[in-house]
Amino acid sequence: MEKIERSDLLLVIDVQNDFCPGGALPVPDGGAVVPVINRVIGLFPAAGATQDWHPAGHFSFASSHPGKKPFETIPWHGQEQVLWPDHCLQGSAGADLHPELEARPLRFLLRKGTRRDVDSYSGFLENDHRTSTGLKGLLQELGVRRIFVAGLATDYCVRATVLDGLEAGFRVAVLVDACRGVDVPAGSVKKALEEMRSLGALLLETRDLSAG
C-alpha cells in the first residue's frame, strides 16, 4: 500500500466535457475516470485540477489551417504539432469540468492553452517548454512535495505533466486506473507509461492507496 502523506496532492488533468463521451475530442472511455477519481479525492489533504481553455481560432485547431484535417500534423518550432478538432473553447460547455466530477475538494483550477499561438499539454509548461503556467510556484506555496496524477489523456496531457513535474523536482505518482489515453498511434499509452516509469514516476492503481 502507498500511504498518503500531508505534503501530497491529487492533480486532476483535463477531466472536461469535450474529452469525455459526446464531446468534441472524446478520449476513449474518458468518462470512466470520473467515479475512480471521486472515490479517492477525499483521501488527499489537497487536490487541484487543470483545464484546457482555448481561445477561438487556436493554432492547434485544424480549422485554423485551410486544407488540413484533424489529427494531421504540422511543423512548429522544430516539433510536430497535432491538429485537433476545435475543443475546450473558453466559456463553452465543452470546456467545463465533467458535471459528475467531485469538484468541492479542489483547491485550485489552473487554465492552460490560453495563448492562441502555442499549445499547452503539460500543467507546468506550455509546449514551447519555456513558458511556465505558474503551477510549480503554486504547488510550492501549498507545501506540496509529491503529486498523484489522474485524468486525460495518458499519452498527452498526463504524460507531459508527469515529465515536467519530475523535472521541476516533485515526486510524482500516476494513478493508472484513473487515467485514460488516446492511444494514437497505437501503443502510445503503453509507451507513455513506460517512459514515465523510466524517468522516475511511480505507477499505481487507486486500490494501492491508503489514507495517512
Catalytic residues: 14, 112, 157
CA distance 46 to 109: 12
Q: What is the DSSP secondary-structure string of 89-146?
A: BTTSGGGSBPTTS--TTEEEEEEE--STT----SSSB-TTSS-B-SHHHHHHHTT--E
With residue 192 as reference, give the H or E element that holds it: helix 188-198
End-to-end CA distance of the chain: 11
Residue listed under C-alpha cell 499549445: 119
